[in-house]
Amino acid sequence: MGTSVGRIKKAIAQLPVPDPWDCRRFVEDVAELRGRPIILLPVGILGGLASPCGLWLVREHDDVIIYEDSTSEYHMDQIVCHEIGHMVLGHDRAPSSDTGLASDPMFRSVFPDIDPLTVRAVLGRSDYGNGLEREAEMFATMVMVAGGHGQRGQNFRNVLFKQR
């Protein structure tokens, strides 16, 4: 098993993953563990922002997860968990974390209530071309499976989290 998968399993083992799966409860519990509020902001227009379907805004006193809400509930949960993966795996400390998007005029017009000066880092979920994105996506899948998301998730849970 690759080091990334082992690292992800170790991170998930430290989290209160609800079973049966409840995304909002999971986000609330992660926020409590981290000692920082996590604000969920569903929007239906992320496609105009360089096509991410999710964003994590790291701010001084809280985190904001912006996610595409014109998709399936499963996909919304996957997007939110992907961004949580970035959080718990420490991806905001990676050199690629960038605030450039927050000061982009399109971003400011779509999110006028978010002051770009409060954003310390932005991570967006649009493709899996780098290791951090693949790691966050694997985290999201494994969390939802651990929580028994649907019948299909239960089958994957038996494979991914089999006791040895």
Q: Over the stretch 67-90, which tens digit does the pLDDT of each residue have?
A: 888 888 998 999 999 999 999 998
Better-scored residue on pLDDT, 157 or 140:
140
The pLDDT assigned to 133 comes to 85
Residue whose token pair is 């493709």: 127
What integer is the mean pLDDT of 117-135? Answer: 66
Query: Are 97 and 122 a contacting pair, CB within 8 Å?
Result: yes
pTM of the model: 0.75
Query: Is the backbone of residue 139 left (phi > 0), alpha (psi -120 to 50) or beta?
Result: alpha
* SS3 label, residue 62: coil
Query: pLDDT digit string (tens) for 18-60?
Result: 988 999 999 999 999 999 999 999 987 655 555 567 888 888 8
Better-scored residue on pLDDT, 46 or 130:
130
Which residues, in sequence order, are CB contacts of 84 under 8 Å at separation 6+?
26, 27, 30, 38, 65, 139, 140, 143
- Evaluate if residue 117 carries a pLDDT over 80: no
Domain boundaries of the chain, sorted by first residue: 3-157
How far is 72 from 30, CA to CA, in rounded Å?
23
Mean pLDDT, all residues of the chain: 77
The pLDDT assigned to 3 comes to 63
